[in-house]
Amino acid sequence: MSTTGHRPTTTRDDSVVARTSTRPSWSGTAASRALAVLRIVYGLTFLWAFVDKVFGFGYATKSGKGWIDGGDPTAGFLGKGAKGPFESFYHSLVGDFWVSPLFMIALAGIGLALTLGIGMRIAAVSGTILYVMMWSAVLPPENNPVLDDHIVGAITLIALALVAAGNVWGFGKQWARLPIVERYPWLR
């Protein structure tokens, strides 16, 4: 009995027993919906971080310290939270004119892409870079000598992009059909 490639599985009398498919075994199942929920939840965490830093709702960003109030959304973490071997590098970024806008654009862009299921490759790469930078800013992690939630988040974003999680309960399929995305597949 053969189960390789796209050939039908046959017995000795050459009757067709079953056909294999190129569709992933998890596609269209509860697993694909669970991955869609995971994608949306991660997207909403990025969007919440963006909104809280813009308006200073008093959660991670104190009231009156939001970006619209003149606060610097990166100064606290980079200036006071950074420690370890890259501490001086992150401290040197505090107050640079491009750091906060780039960080805020990243939060909003990654959050929207994940929530909507579009641009999953870009969201995974940029989100992974952001997560790894945040991980490296506080080395070594407090609860584990190597791993923390930033590394788990980075791995999750990569996995979500690899399984095309934006196609379930998202606009990934429609996004992929846009002429510019068809021309430049890395935009998927």
In a domain, 4, yes or no: no
Nearest to 115 by CA among 28, 175, 60, 55: 175
Reported as a single tens digit per residue, the pLDDT across 59-90 is: 999 999 999 999 999 999 999 999 999 999 99
Q: Which two tokens stand for residue 139?
A: 């080395």
In a domain, 5, yes or no: no
pTM of the entire structure?
0.83
Specify whether the CB–CB gap between 127 and 46 falls below 8 A: yes
Roughly what angle, to the nearest 10 degrees, separates helices 120-136 and 30-55?
60
In a domain, 172, yes or no: yes
Please give the angle made by the CA atoms of 5, 10 and 15, to the nearest 5 degrees.
135
Question: How many structural domains is the chain composed of?
Answer: 1
182 three-class SS? helix
Confidence of residue 13 (pLDDT cuts 50, 70, 90): very low
Confidence of residue 28 (pLDDT cuts 50, 70, 90): low
Give the C-alpha distances (Å, rounded to integers) separating 29 from 24, 32, 158.
10, 5, 20
In a domain, 3, yes or no: no
In a domain, 1, yes or no: no
Q: Which two tokens stand for residue 124?
A: 């995974």
In a domain, 120, yes or no: yes
In a domain, 8, yes or no: no
164: alpha, beta or left? (left if phi > 0; alpha if psi -120 to 50):
left
62: alpha, beta or left? (left if phi > 0; alpha if psi -120 to 50):
beta
Reported as a single tens digit per residue, the pLDDT across 100-116 is: 999 999 999 999 999 99
Q: H or E segment at 162? A: helix 149-162
In a domain, 23, yes or no: no
Specify whether the CB–CB gap between 45 and 53 falls below 8 A: no
**What single-letter amino acid sits at 113?**
A
Range of the domain at 75: 29-187
Q: H or E segment at 30? A: helix 30-55
Reported as a single tens digit per residue, the pLDDT across 120-159 is: 999 999 999 999 999 999 999 888 888 899 999 999 999 9
